[in-house]
Structure formats: structure tokens, C-alpha cells
Structure 1
Amino acid sequence: MPRLLPALAAALVLLATGANGFRIEEASLATIQQGFGNGSLTSVQLVRFYLDRIRGLNPLLHAVIEVNPDALRQAARADAERRRSSGRYLAAGAGGILHGVPILLKDNIGTRDAINTTAGSFALLGSVPPRDAGVVSRLRRAGAVVLGKANMEEWANFRSLPGTDGWSARGGQARNPYVLTASPCGSSTGSSIAAAASMAAVTLGTETDGSIICPASLNSVVGIKPTVGLTSRAGVVPISPRQDTIGPICRTVTDAVHVLDAIVGYDALDAAATVAASKYIPHGGYAQFLKKGGLQGKRIGVPNGFFNYANGTVQHTVYQQHFYRMWLQGATVIENLEIENLSVILDSLNNGEQIALPAEFKLSLNSYLSDLSNSPVRSLAEVIDFNNAHPVEEKLKEIGQLIFLAAENTTGIGAMEKAAISGLNKLSADGLEKLMKEHELDAVVTPDSALAPVLAIGGMPAITVPAGYSSSGVPFGLSFGGLRGYEPRLIEMAYAFEQITNVRKAPTFLP
């Protein structure tokens, strides 16, 4: 592996600079649109840059499962639209800033086109969704180019208890671009790696319990986990309608917020959730909350039980410095707060999730599969049979499928499942929700995805921002979490924090 790295570094220098001197590596949406506007860049050139970069890096990182054979044609159409409109496609709003921009989608986000949607599994290879996922339809209307599908932990890490740490049968073992032997986390693994390594302008992930926040943190990018229902889940391979959400993973808070603006809103195919959450969408969108003074006057809680780093460690020192910086920016940082029943909430084997989630998964997955065309499998039972018939490809001996088997043994949402869901709701109401209301908090902060289970059971949002790098070079993040609909406050704080710390750096590809 070490012998490969000098050649990789040389290749990256060539890949980073494209036509007319435009530098692709780390390019933001604003920079890309500036290139479109001044003629130094076209969408076709940009797509070619990313395709070349994927060809160069993917054998090492395994971040991308499949590229879209139609991407260049989509890019050419965007260029033609831009020429005809004389700039009208760059009008105010998220649609303007995403026009002609390539985006990678996590492989559980459905597209009705030439690329597959498989959740990383060979069991779904060749299946055809009846339509684009709701968020994909919105991205297409905004003019984005679907570049391809990103690798992910197979079945969003809901196949077995051990998990796969960024592995899927179709995509292989994904690798952290900062330290190749470090965990890349999951399940939105490939989306986070691709964003970090500039294999796409922006990416999209999904989260049920930490699947955006964890890989974004460990790959030094920004991830937004929206309030459940703020973004449509229609056309996405599901786990739980109570907890599933779709969100952006990008290199900056600004880019992530522009993508969020493009994908939020009502969807008739996910009506109940999107109607309930639509009241949270602010008039004028989310980009208005990108404020450098966004920490001023904010009340930020630091719950006990998360920042347990020994004195002298990099993490302990860096997080303490960050709290001090937030205080200097006018935030009130309140430490030593207790989330009621935290140990129970964090214990997924005993908090009720082990009863609720498998039943929800079986119902949701069977419904999704029944809507597909030409699918090799039509039910969870058939997926289980497929894995049994392909034990080598699906690493059945090493990984197993215990969660699948438990889910298949459920019989719907009965009294036991309803009691478990009620218990989870109570844990959320008496825990973080009560704490934030009593202390009038705008957010709580935790390292990486430590708060993910607490937020998951309440359908609450979070944003993670790069916070630092360990002594061995592995990234870690700081997550801002809040109550349902708190995205405007979280964006203000996350953006201001990003601007005053400026932590993120490009991947190092250390062996």
C-alpha cells in the first residue's frame, strides 16, 4: 500500500485541474457556478473531471458503486439550457446553484434511469423503481446531474448485529480517505468518502440512526440529518417510517444547506410525514440562516456522558478549545447537563427499538419491493433466501443476517410493537426534549454521532461539522442537535462554528 501512495498523489495533481485552469478539488457550488458563468467551465467538463477522479480513486476507496452512463448527456443538456437562458438558470434560489452540478446518491435512493438501486446488495441488482425517489425528482427539477450511486453499508447496516463498517457486496469495503485503515463508518459511507475526496460536487445520504452523522464526522465533511418528514422518503429503500430521513453530505455547511433547500417539501407519496414537517420549512428557505454571527445569543448544552476524553488527548484539548471559541462568539455554553434515562436510550437492545424496528422494516421493505419492476426479490423472505443461495458474494458466514431473520419473524405492528413505540416516544419526551425545553437550549453538542440514538427516536435533526484530527490523522466532528424543526438555529450555529474554526482539510490518504 505505501508504494501506491506517491503515484496516487501525482495522479491527484493531474485530476485536480481541468480545462481552462479550473481547479476541481474542493470546489464549492459557488465556485462551480462562477466557472459556469465566466465560461471557464462547463457541466460536461465538470462531469468528465469527476468521472476521471472516480476512475483514479475508486479502486482505493470503494466509494462509488456505479456511475451513470447518462451523466454526460444530462450535463450537455444543462450547458445548452444555460446558453439559451443567458444566465437565467442562475437566478436566486437552490435550483439556480445546483443547475448542471453532478451529485452522487446513496445506493438506497431510487432512480428511474440506467443505474441500479440496490442498497449495496446483489439481491436487488436489475430491479427497476417505478419512478425517481421524491428527493431525486426535486434535484432533477433543480437541474442537478445524477452522477451515479455511492457505496453504503449493505441494507443500511440493518442486516446483522455485527454490521459491516462500510462494506457492501456490490461496492466492496469502503475506506477512509484520511487514514485508509480507519473506520469510515456507515451507512452513508460512500457518500461521505466521495464528498471528502472530491469525487462529486455534493452527495446525498440517508439516516435512521447515525447513518449520516457518523460517516460525515469520521470523513471530515458536513452532514445534515433533517427532521423526519422534512425530506420525502418515497422511493428510498426503507427501514423505519418513524426514523428514516434523507439529507445532504458536503464539504461545507453552505453547500449542504443549498442541497437541503432543494430537497425539502411535500410529497404526495410520503404525505403524512411531509405534511406534518412542512410547518417547519421557513419562508425564503434555509440559506438565509448562513450567518457568521450565528452563535451570538445561542444557548448550547453539553450533556454528560459524551466528552469522556482523558486530559492531554487531542480530542479533549480540541473540544475544550471549541467550547471556548463558541463562548467568545457570544454563545452561552452550559455544561454538565443530564439527559434523563440516557443509558436506557443508548441501549438499542433494551430501549424498545429491537421490538419496533424489525416489524417496521419488514412492513416497509415488503411494500417497497412490491412496487418494483423486474425485481429478483419481492419480499424480505426472498431476500433472505437470496442470501442463503449466494453465501460467498453476500459474506453470509462472516456477517450473517440475524436482523433479517428476526424481522421476518414479526407479524405487523401489534400490541407489543405499539407499546415499544410508545416507550420510545416517552424516552424522547422525558429525555432530550424535556432537557432542551427546561434549559431553553437552542442545541446540544456531542462528538461525532454520539447523540444519534437520542435524536433518532424523536425524529430530531442534527448537523455535524469537522472538528479536528486525532494524533494519527483520523477526523472527528462536532454535532449540533436540536428539537424537531430547529434546522434554522442549527444552521446558524454550525455555519458560524465552521467559519471561526476552519478545521477541514483535504484527505491525506495515509496508509
Structure 2
Amino acid sequence: MNHCTLARPALALLLATAAMPALAQKASPPPADSTPDRAAINELLAADEYILRIQALDDNGPRINAVIDYDPTAPVKARQLLGTGPLRGRTVLVKDNVETAEWPTTAGSLALKDNATGRDAPLIAMMRKNGGVVLGKTNLSEWANIRSNTSTSGWSGVGGLTRNPYAIDRNSCGSSSGSGAAVAAGFAWGAIGTETNGSITCPASVNGLVGFKPSVGIVSRTHVVPISSTQDTAGPMTRSVYDAALLLTAIAGEDKADPVTLEAKRVKDYTAGLDTASLKGVRIGVLRGAVGARGDVKALFDSALADLTRAGAELVDVEYEAPGELWEAALPVLMFELRVEMDKYLSTRPGTEGPRSLADVIAFNTANADQELRWFGQDLFEQALTTTDAEAYAKNLATLRRLTRAEGIDKLLADNKVTFLVAPTEGPAWTTDLVNGDHYANGIGAGYLAAIAGYPHITVPMGGVEGLPVGFSIMGGQWQDHAVLKAGAVYEKARTAKLPAPTFRPWRAAE
């Protein structure tokens, strides 16, 4: 996407390419003898570099296509905030379903291309108050990947197709595809994604990042284009667990307009204790049934488990298979909530232009089918429009809560006397195919449990398959966000696997 005129493309490309090793080094957690101020100063020095990289690698060169809009004055704003809050001027890219005052919030849809509300979502206002700088908005899977069962993750009518920096012909996963690809490409210190079911953790996994999906209620959802009132949450996507905890600290908080946030049990500083955290003697449940059939993923996972054992953890094999009743209830709940929440959001937007209901969006897409419906349809939107039985919804929601909480994560933790559950997050990134849609690796991961339950889930890079990143998932009980982050920090420190690096070219087999 050409956001602005590039005056010095050759110089920008040279500088951006030359800067890759330095950015990778800065992405690591600060050493024990460094101070947060020193880390913040390093980020200030990198702020100008981020702009050059966006110009060279997103607008030009391999055209990662992760950033929809950006603020060229962000480095100046960053320098002004050096002493402000925990973020101290760090630059953050924001998924384009979260409102920011500077730009329209489109959810990737041409129907919302003029949705300039002039307001910040509370989580963005909180981030600015805590010293964060909004560097720009990122592309996403249109409508957060809830429009069709046959979609291609990373594509939107507004932003086009986002590419994976590790292999640009591979998928960046949805729906926070732009946020994941942008941080992996070195376009910002961190990014904000949103998740309903896998949309933070999957793009983090396939883009070699740390992604943290908080317990639902830790972060406000007000002025975020919605899908689900029971599963939606925003969360951080960064290059280290420390950075994810720091960004979560800056965006977490109560919001009277989002009642579930009033029930949340937070800590003041999610970075506290990360450097001294230990898993010695901690029992961890291993979801062997979520490893899948790929031998290469299993080998990486076994190596990660060995790292945890060396860190002192006690591993316990945990058997779990999702009952069919769970899958029968899951989609009807999302369809009912999608219609209710989307109508509420669209009907209360400032201004009078654009769609005011889900039905209006469907009509817009039909009228603009050549632009919006070329690659896949809107079957889920149409299904949501007819999912109106409130009694059936209440029954299905109760079923989901029971199967993922009381008879799901809560039971697995209690019965096996374990503190966390672990599994691979997702398989390696698949080849993007706009004609046929996504093709995930079957049987890998169990993040749906934490997503539907509304419980915390972190993914941390655990290595690569043929140069493509794969993540390691750690899930915990409700409000155990800090504990899950600390477990992630211990694994990150103990990890022995070599991590792949972005190539910014199509995938090719190693020689």
C-alpha cells in the first residue's frame, strides 16, 4: 500500500535491510543489568528506522502489505514521551478494527472505508496515557475473518493481501494478520491484535512472535468492531514475552461501558517478576492429543518439553478430546452474538454515512461484489442474520461455558493437579491461495479451549519447520494472566531451539 510519496526509495531500502540484525537484537528482553529507560532509549533510536522499513518493505520491495496507514511524525511524538508511563514512547501498530482518532476504522471492509469516528477506543486512550505512540493501523482478515467459511486469511477489501515476512507466498494467518506480519518485519516495537478464536495466537505463531490473548475482561472492547460479546478481546503481539507483558500493562483496565472489565482480576504491572519467575516443581499438563500428525512439529514440541523439564517443571500427560456437543454449540453462539453486537456497533457510530446494521453490510457487499466478493462470499454473515432464537442461544452458551470451563480447562487443571496446559499453537504457515481459501494443518493446537472459555493463552516461538515459525502455547485458568506470562518468560529463557529469520522472499527448500 502506497501510504505516502517515498522520496528516497533506494536509500530507505538500503537502510531498512541493513538494520535487520540490529532490530532483531533490540527485540530481545533487556538484560538483567539494563534499565527500562535504556530499553526505551533504544526504541526511540529505532522509531525512525521503523518508518523507513515500512516504506521500503511494505510499500515497496517485497510489499508485505501489513500497514494500512502510518504517522510519519510518530518518531517525534515518541521522543516527547520518553519519560511518560511504562511505555516511554514505544511505537505500536493497531489492528484496523480498533478505533483510533487519526484514521478511519474499517475492519478491512470497503463498507467502512469512511468510518472516521474521531475517537480512541478506551484501550488506545489508555495506551497513550501510559506513554505509547500509535504508529499506524494494520491490515486484517476482513471483518476479523467472520464473513465466510472459505476465506483467505490476511485479505481485506481495503488492504488487499498481507504476506508473511518469513516467506511472502505463505499466509500470515487471521485475523490479526497485519499486526503479526508488521512486527515480524520490524515495522514497530509491538502491535495490538484482537482475538475471538485464534486471531492473536495463530498469526503470532506463524510470524514467529509472542502473542498473548488475555482473559476476556482484562482489556476493554468498547469501540472495537465486534464479533462476540463472550469471546472478543484485544491483546499484545511483540517480539518478547517481556514486551507483551509491558504492552498489556499499558492497555489493561476497567471500562464502565464494558461491564465484564469490572469483574476482572488484574495486576498493576504484568512485567513484575518475569525475570525471576521459576517453574521448578510446577506441574504442567501436556495435551498430547493436540500435537497433530506432523513429525516435524512433534519434534519441536518434544524439544520445548525437554527445555521445560530442564527448567524444573514436572510434565504430566493430559488426555482431552473436544466433545461433539462443543462444536455443535460454538458456531450458533458466534452467529447470534455477531448479529447483535454488529448491529449495536454500526447503529451507534458517529455520523450518518455507511452501514447501520449487519443487513446493510450484506447489501453493500452484494452491490459491490466485484470488489468484495471476488475471492469468497459472505455465507456466515447471511447465517448470522437468521440466527435469532434467543432461547437456543442461551442454551448453547451455557453448553460452551460448561464444556470449556467447568468440564474443560478447570477440570483438566484440577483433575491432573497441574497449573498450566501446553500444546503446539499451530502448524507452519501454508501457501496462500485466494482461489481455494485457507488450509490449516489439521489436529494441531488447542487454543479454541482458552478462546471459548475466555481464559488466558500465550504463544511463544519454539523453532521452525523448513524456515517457517511454529509457536508453543501455554494456557491457564481465568484471571491467571500474570502466571501464564511468567511461565512464558521461563520457557523463552530456557528455549534451546534455533529460531528462523524472515527472508522477505518466496519460500524455498533449504539446500
- TM-score normalized with structure 1 length: 0.86
Distance change (3 Å), C-alpha of 1:221 and 1:10: farther
SS at match of 1:54: helix
Structure 1: distance between partners of 2:10 and 2:472 = 29
CA distances 1:454-477 after superposition (whole Å, capped 9, x unpaired): 11221111000001111x211111
Structure 2: distance between partners of 1:253 and 1:422 = 33
Report the counterpart of residue 226 of structure 1 in structure 2: 214
1:154 aligns with 2:138: no
Distance change (3 Å), C-alpha of 1:267 and 1:403: same
Contact 1:105 1:148 in 2 (8 A): yes
Contact 1:298 1:332 in 2 (8 A): yes
- 1:206 deviates by 0.3
Contact 1:223 1:249 in 2 (8 A): yes
Distance change (3 Å), C-alpha of 1:22 and 1:328: closer
2:152 to 164, 176, 183: 164
Structure 2: distance between partners of 1:286 and 1:397 = 44
Structure with the largest fraction of helix: 1
Distance change (3 Å), C-alpha of 1:435 and 1:100: same
2:296 to 314, 317, 324: 314
Farther off after superposition, 358-367 or 370-379: 370-379
- 1:144 deviates by 1.4
Report the counterpart of residue 489 of structure 1 in structure 2: 483
SS at match of 2:369: coil
SS at match of 1:363: helix
Report the counterpart of residue 178 of structure 1 in structure 2: 166
Structure 1: distance between partners of 2:300 and 2:81 = 47
> Gaps (5+ residues) in structure 1?
1-7, 83-88
Report the counterpart of residue 102 of structure 1 in structure 2: 91
Question: Which residue identity does 1:316 align to in structure 2?
Answer: K
Contact 2:211 2:244 in 1 (8 A): yes
Report the counterpart of residue 48 of structure 2 in structure 1: 48
Distance change (3 Å), C-alpha of 1:281 and 1:170: same
- 1:77 deviates by 4.3
Question: Which residue identity does 2:504 align to in structure 1?
Answer: F
Structure 2: distance between partners of 1:397 and 1:39 = 45
Q: How many residues get paired? A: 473
- 1:173 deviates by 1.2
Structure 2: distance between partners of 1:225 and 1:39 = 24
CA distances 1:345-401 after superposition (whole Å, capped 9, x unpaired): 673xx2x1221111111111111112222341111111111111111211x143100
Structure 2: distance between partners of 1:389 and 1:149 = 27
Contact 2:40 2:90 in 1 (8 A): no
- TM-score normalized with structure 2 length: 0.86
Distance change (3 Å), C-alpha of 1:23 and 1:441: same
SS at match of 1:111: coil
- 1:418 deviates by 0.7
Structure 2: distance between partners of 1:285 and 1:35 = 13
Structure 2: distance between partners of 1:325 and 1:378 = 52
Question: Which residue identity does 1:27 align to in structure 2?
Answer: K
CA distances 1:303-340 after superposition (whole Å, capped 9, x unpaired): 24211345xx33222211221221121101111x222x
1:499 to 484, 493, 503: 493
Distance change (3 Å), C-alpha of 1:36 and 1:491: closer
SS at match of 1:287: coil
1:206 to 194, 203, 206: 194
Contact 1:101 1:143 in 2 (8 A): yes
1:141 aligns with 2:129: yes
CA distances 1:236-292 after superposition (whole Å, capped 9, x unpaired): 00000100011000011111110011111101221x110111xx212x421113135
Distance change (3 Å), C-alpha of 1:80 and 1:456: closer
Report the counterpart of residue 477 of structure 1 in structure 2: 471
Structure 2: distance between partners of 1:292 and 1:322 = 20
Contact 2:284 2:315 in 1 (8 A): yes
Structure 2: distance between partners of 1:262 and 1:233 = 15
Contact 1:121 1:155 in 2 (8 A): yes
CA distances 1:408-463 after superposition (whole Å, capped 9, x unpaired): 1233x611111111111121121222111122221111111521211122111100
Q: Identity of counterpart residues, as a percentage?
A: 35
Structure 1: distance between partners of 2:279 and 2:11 = 41
Question: Which residue identity does 1:408 align to in structure 2?
Answer: L
Report the counterpart of residue 368 of structure 1 in structure 2: 345
SS at match of 1:392: helix
Contact 1:299 1:443 in 2 (8 A): yes
Question: Which residue identity does 1:125 align to in structure 2?
Answer: K
Report the counterpart of residue 187 of structure 1 in structure 2: 175
Within a 5 Å distance, the mapping from 1:244-263 to structure 2 comes to 244-263=232-251
Report the counterpart of residue 338 of structure 1 in structure 2: 319
1:463 aligns with 2:427: no
Report the counterpart of residue 4 of structure 1 in structure 2: none
Measured on the aligned residues, the alpha-carbon RMSD in Å equals 2.8
